[in-house]
């Protein structure tokens, strides 16, 4: 599995992440009910999950990732985010894993991972795995069989990343491709306002082009956003490969596929993928 730093929040931005995780949904524009293009539709949301999984897990089978857990996927101490785990790469250093575990505790008080909550609280903000280690890894993998744990991961993915990204994209007048581009950036860079977080990337794009909500051209604006996203990725050692932007998202944009309609053919890390629609194949 070509797992490369799933959750790319800049470590300089960590200080503000706890607040960002807690308030991302509240800061996002309210949901729309006017029939506008919506990545929340079941078929389009499934596409989004598969696309992210191709980049995060080298697989379109995103539902097989609930039990994924790995320490220091960045393979360098400067960017070590501790444990990376689950369907979008919740990490023990950057607070969202702790938020996930607290929610899991709420909906399943007797869950098998509850014993690790004190350790996760202690290592939050650090790359330490004190009190975790192999027993924690085994417990996480086993917990993936629990429907409540999968529900908790889905809930936190949507609350912190998917919903805020889609709402902001709709507020900017973007169709499903733009909504996905925002979501993928939110997953990798985090929901904060720092330069290399989602908010900072969006602000950089706004300096170069206007979104449709401000009378701008959708393609030109998304090009500017992807330029800013690419620069943010290149700022970290663990994200020098920008193919999820170059040969996936930019490819869809060049094809004029602003509604993100299948079939979708693209490459990530040089590997070819094809999503036909109802079914999918690599």
Q: Quick one: average pLDDT of 90-111? A: 97
Given a contact cutoff of 8 angstroms between Cβ atoms, the answer to whether 81 and 112 are in contact is: no
pLDDT in tens, 39-93: 999 999 999 999 999 999 999 999 999 999 999 987 888 789 999 999 999 999 9
Domain 11-281: state its class: mainly alpha
Closest to 91 (Cα-Cα) out of 139, 125, 44, 49 = 125
Pairing of strands 264-268, 83-85: unpaired
11/30 Cα distance (integer angstroms): 29
The pLDDT of residue 108 is 98
Going from N- to C-terminal start, the domains of the chain cover 11-281
Given a contact cutoff of 8 angstroms between Cβ atoms, the answer to whether 4 and 241 are in contact is: yes
Query: Which own/partner pairs from 76-82 qualify as long-range (CB within 8 Å, at least 24 positions apart)?
Result: 76/237, 76/238, 77/127, 78/11, 78/237, 79/5, 79/11, 79/236, 79/237, 79/238, 80/127, 81/5, 81/7, 81/9, 81/11, 81/127, 82/123, 82/126, 82/127, 82/128, 82/129
Q: How much is the pTM? A: 0.88
The pLDDT of residue 36 is 72
**Residue 11 pLDDT > 60, yes or no?**
no
Is residue 269 very low, low, confident or very high in pLDDT (cuts 50, 70, 90)? very high
């Amino acid at each position: 599995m070509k797992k490369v730093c799933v959750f790319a929040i800049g470590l300089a931005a960590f200080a503000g992440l706890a607040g960002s995780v807690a308030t991302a949904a509240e800061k996002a524009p309210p949901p729309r009910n006017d029939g506008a293009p919506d990545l929340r539709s079941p078929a389009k949301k499934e596409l989004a999950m598969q696309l992210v999984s191709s980049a995060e897990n080298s697989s379109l089978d995103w539902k097989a990732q609930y039990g994924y857990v790995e320490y220091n996927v960045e393979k360098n101490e400067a960017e070590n985010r501790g444990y990376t785990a689950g369907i979008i790469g919740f990490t023990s250093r950057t607070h969202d894993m702790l938020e996930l575990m607290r929610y899991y505790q709420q909906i399943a008080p007797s869950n098998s991972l509850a014993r690790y909550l004190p350790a996760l609280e202690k290592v939050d903000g650090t790359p330490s795995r004190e009190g975790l280690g192999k027993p924690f890894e085994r417990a996480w993998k086993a917990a993936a069989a629990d429907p409540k744990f999968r529900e908790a991961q889905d809930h936190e993915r949507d609350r912190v990343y998917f919903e805020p990204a889609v709402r902001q994209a709709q507020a900017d007048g973007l169709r499903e491709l733009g909504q996905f581009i925002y979501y993928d950036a939110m997953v990798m860079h985090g929901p904060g306002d720092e330069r290399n977080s989602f908010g900072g990337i969006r602000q950089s794009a706004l300096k170069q082009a206007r979104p449709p909500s401000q009378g701008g051209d959708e393609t030109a604006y998304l090009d500017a956003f992807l330029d800013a996203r690419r620069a943010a990725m290149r700022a970290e050692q663990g994200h020098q490969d920008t193919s999820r932007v170059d040969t996936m998202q930019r490819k869809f944009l060049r094809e004029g596929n602003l509604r993100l309609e299948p079939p979708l053919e693209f490459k990530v890390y040089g590997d070819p993928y094809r999503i036909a629609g109802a079914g999918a194949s690599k």
